[in-house]
Amino acid sequence: MLYLVGLGLADETDITVKGLEIVKKAERVYLEAYTSILLVKKEKLESFYGRPVIEADRELVESGSDQILEDADKKDVAFLVVGDPFGATTHTDLVLRARELGIESKVVPNASIMSGIGCTGLQLYNFGQTVSMVFFTENWKPSSYYDRVKENIQLGLHTLVLVDIKVKEPSLEHLARGKIIYEPPRYMTVAQCASQMLETEEERKEGVYGPDSLAVGAARVGAADQKLVAGTLKELAEVDMGPPLHSLVLLGRKTHDLEKDYIREFAVDKATFDASWEKGYGATS
Amino acid sequence: MLYLVGLGLADETDITVKGLEIVKKAERVYLEAYTSILLVKKEKLESFYGRPVIEADRELVESGSDQILEDADKKDVAFLVVGDPFGATTHTDLVLRARELGIESKVVPNASIMSGIGCTGLQLYNFGQTVSMVFFTENWKPSSYYDRVKENIQLGLHTLVLVDIKVKEPSLEHLARGKIIYEPPRYMTVAQCASQMLETEEERKEGVYGPDSLAVGAARVGAADQKLVAGTLKELAEVDMGPPLHSLVLLGRKTHDLEKDYIREFAVDKATFDASWEKGYGATS
């Protein structure tokens, strides 16, 4: 049996009791460690589980899945995924490969950022499609996300923006010289995300949002030091929310008073928050 | 401290290790038992936690929240919510009341159906806004959900339809005679949901979807007997998916081949599935 076990969002104790039992008994345990991270190191997981854990990078999962699935028709293999196994990153391809090999699979769900973002007090019913924000470079500033945000905004809906992380990325400079050396990990912040959003708006000029549009930044959702900040995009582009992981929600105009009361508490500046709110939010339909 | 602890979706072992530690140590433990249910009884939770649990009905949570929050500035009170505390039902009002009373609160996230529905293999990025379906009566068939579905369909997005449950509803017939007697609990099925959706389409006639539109039914997500069925709305209107809880996803036309491969396995009839697919799905933008 292949078990896909969600680890939740913050630390080693966010695994479910059901998930932990499976991890303790499995023959081999893999940790998917390239699309998201827990806020604790692999060693801490191993000592909590009382067993070794094999780190699975992109190459192993995408090209070496048969190695992961070896003997899984007779033995139990656990594949651990930060968040939920079918959340922000879906591991359908691994399950499909297991199916082809006649291996059964089971999923142990857990909190995903796609629902955990509800901790902002914004109602999940009022969210449109989720988008991803990648690190812009000098020559590559993809803005297809902007079209999705536009669709959400036109319907008055919130948009969850998931931000880029780069873990174990080969250095292109070294690759060119025939060496594989990995770049240090990078995690996009709320400030970078807000600033890139404003950059896209300046380029596309479709008025989907602007410096005074309200958003909520969330850092380390589910952790003891979880942090929420509400403010305009201009304010969030300057905010320091501490260590990763970060996410951002751009508010839609259809916003309930309960949502306002909840997030106002986290406002960078209650005066600018109220001013922006008055201008464009609180529509009921 | 007020702890809002998510219980996940299926049984007593879906609580996280972090959540379980809080429940064991709290002074009082409430179980929100009217917006969703676990698939196990309260007694099973109590024996698993090794402590008593107080059932909190709608009246206690909405009118008696000060009773729940009593002494929570000095002692720990745990408020347990099926799924995630800020998932399909958000308990922002309780947290706001705690704030007013100067009581701190912390959330322990868990799987919500809003992300757990990813187990269908449909990508959460491709979902639009979520809608709710209530039990239609002879004279009351609210169709505002249809407008939301229309918005999603126009964008090519999937729609998660959360279905009604009625737990501890007073019998109107008895109320009229001055007695409070509760109706037996009722849980909407995938078949009822699909059939009500077709009824609305017949009335509104805007061609948002039809009998041949594809959908996925999900029952008991996260449980050992989790069941997924893919088919046309006409087929799903006839399907028996067993005990509660059920949910339905109406497919959008922007659908990835991986999603197709994943759900085709659960098709009621692979021939009608393929025929419907060919007609309207698989668009890339």
* Interchain contact, A8 vs B16, CB within 8 Å: yes
Instruction: Find residues 172-231 of chain A whose CB sits inside 8 Å of chain B.
Output: 221-222
pLDDT above 70 for B285: no
Residues of A in contact with B81 (CB under 8 A): none
Residues of A in contact with B124 (CB under 8 A): 86-88, 90, 112, 114, 130
pLDDT above 80 for A78: yes
Q: Which residue of A has its CA nearest to B113?
A: A115
Decide if B151 contacts A157 (C-beta within 8 A).
Answer: no
Instruction: Find residues 221-250 of chain A whose CB sits inside 8 Å of chain B.
Output: 221-222
Instruction: Tell me the average pLDDT across B8-22.
Output: 97
Distance from the A191 Cα atom to the nearest Cα atom in chain B, whole angstroms: 23
Which candidate in A90, A152, A220, A266 is best for mutational testing of the B interface (most B CBs within 10 A)?
A90
Gap between the Cα atoms of A54 and A4, Å rounded: 14
Residues of B in contact with A127 (CB under 8 A): 129-130
B36 has a chain A CB within 8 A of its CB: no
Distance from the A168 Cα atom to the nearest Cα atom in chain B, whole angstroms: 24
The pLDDT > 90 percentage for chain B reads 82
Instruction: Tell me the average pLDDT across A116-140.
Output: 96
Q: What is the mean pLDDT of chain A?
A: 94
Q: Phi/psi of residue A154, each to 5°?
A: -60, -30
Gap between the Cα atoms of A262 and B164, Å rounded: 27
A108 has a chain B CB within 8 A of its CB: yes
Q: Which residue of B has its CA nearest to A261?
A: B96
Residues of A in contact with B132 (CB under 8 A): 125
Decide if A252 contacts A158 (C-beta within 8 A).
Answer: yes
B252 has a chain A CB within 8 A of its CB: no
Instruction: Identify any residues that bridge with B166 across adjacent strands, giving them in sequence order.
Output: B186
Characterize B23-57 residue by residue with b for buried, 16 or more Cβ atoms within 10 angstroms of its Cβ, and e for exposed: beebebbbbbbbbbbbbbeeeebeebbeeebeebe
Decide if A215 contacts A237 (C-beta within 8 A).
Answer: no
* Interchain contact, B121 vs A262, CB within 8 Å: no
DSSP-derived pairing of the beta strands B77-81 and B2-6: parallel
Residues of B in contact with A154 (CB under 8 A): none
Q: Which residue of B has its CA nearest to A116?
A: B109
Which residues of B sit in the known binding site for S-adenosyl-L-methionine?
9, 84, 87, 112-113, 163, 221, 246
Q: Which residue of A has its CA nearest to B156?
A: A129
Q: What pLDDT is recorded for position B31?
A: 96
Chain A, chain B: beta-carbon pairs less than 8 Å apart: 176
Residues in chain B, overall count: 285
Per-domain boundaries in chain A: 2-111, 114-281
Per DSSP, chain B holds a count of helices (H) and strands (E) of: 12, 12
Which candidate in B35, B115, B157, B247 is best for mutational testing of the A interface (most A CBs within 10 A)?
B115
Instruction: Tell me the average pLDDT across B111-134.
Output: 96
Quick: pLDDT tens for B66-109. 999 999 999 999 999 999 999 877 789 999 999 999 999 999 99
Tell whether A221 is in a known binding site.
Answer: yes
Q: What pLDDT is recorded for position A35?
A: 82
Write the ipTM. Answer: 0.94
DSSP category for residue A81 = E
Q: 């019913």: which residue's tokens?
A: A125
Which candidate in B35, B38, B89, B92 is best for mutational testing of the A interface (most A CBs within 10 A)?
B92
Q: What pLDDT is recorded for position A88?
A: 75
* Interchain contact, A15 vs B20, CB within 8 Å: no
Q: Encoding tokens for residue B251? A: 């497919």
**B127: nearest CB among A9, A129, A151:** A129
B283 has a chain A CB within 8 A of its CB: no
A38 has a chain B CB within 8 A of its CB: no
Q: What is the architecture, at CATH level 2, of domain B114-281? A: 2-Layer Sandwich (3.30)
Decide if B79 contacts B2 (C-beta within 8 A).
Answer: yes
Instruction: Find residues 143-162 of chain A whose CB sits inside 8 Å of chain B.
Output: 151, 155, 157
Cα angle: B107, vertex B112, B116; to 5 degrees: 145
Helices A190-204/A144-154 angle, 10° precision: 90
pLDDT above 80 for B11: yes
Q: CB atoms < 10 A from the CB of A25, how many?
A: 12
Q: What pLDDT is recorded for position B264?
A: 97
Fold of B2-111: Cobalt-precorrin-4 Transmethylase; domain 1 (3.40.1010)
* Interchain contact, A88 vs B124, CB within 8 Å: yes
Helices B257-264/B270-280 angle, 10° precision: 160
Helices (DSSP H) in A10-121: which residue ranges?
17-25, 42-49, 58-63, 65-68, 92-100, 113-116
- Which pLDDT band, with edges at 50, 70 and 90, does A285 fall under? low
Q: What pLDDT is recorded for position B33?
A: 82
Q: What pLDDT is recorded for position B249?
A: 98
Quick: pLDDT tens for B185-242. 899 999 999 999 999 999 999 999 999 999 999 999 999 999 999 999 999 999 999 9
First and final CA of chain B: distance in angstroms?
48
